[in-house]
Amino acid sequence: MERIVDPVAEAVVCWRTAEEGGRQSGPPTAPVYTATSVFVLGDDSDLQPDWPWSADPKLSIWIQRIALRDDGSWLCKVDFPFRDLAVPYIVQEGEFLIMEGPTIVAHAQFTVVHLHR
């Protein structure tokens, strides 16, 4: 995929460094990056053993960088291959994690929601 045409939302994505346990090669370079997302719902980390690996749902996510911010974070277009499953979790200022397998590679927060509920 070269670009996200009709994103469901926009988000600020903060990539973890290799030292923080993130991607060894740094942030992705593909035009549209595909990974797994886990939504941060309240105090899940306190209530669910082994969270975020035990989180439900875990959904595939598409991320496209549209701007690099002064602090190094990315402003991104966001979409999901199975959008209907993600819709209940896409809320203004909602937080989510981006994972590669069991590794948390980024923390993100929705800034703009394009849903028409």
Question: Cβ neighbours of residue 27 under 8 Å, at least 6 residues apart?
Answer: 15, 74
What CA–CA distance (Å, rounded) separates 83 from 117?
A: 13
pLDDT band with cut points at 50, 70 and 90 for residue 1 = confident
For the segment 54-108, what is each residue's pLDDT rounded down to a tens digit? 556 689 999 999 999 999 999 999 999 999 999 999 999 999 999 998 888 999 9
With beta carbons less than 8 A apart as the criterion, state whether 63 and 78 touch: yes
The domains of the chain are located at 9-113
With beta carbons less than 8 A apart as the criterion, state whether 9 and 116 touch: no
pLDDT at 44: 52
Give ∠ CA 108-15-102 in degrees, rounded to 5: 85
pTM: 0.87
CATH code for the structural domain at 9-113: 2.40.30.10
For the segment 33-68, what is each residue's pLDDT rounded down to a tens digit? 999 999 887 655 544 445 455 556 689 999 999 999
pLDDT at 78: 98
What CA–CA distance (Å, rounded) separates 10 from 26?
A: 21
For the segment 9-38, what is each residue's pLDDT rounded down to a tens digit? 999 999 999 999 899 999 999 999 999 999
Task: Please list the residues that pair with 78 across neighbouring strands.
Answer: 9, 63
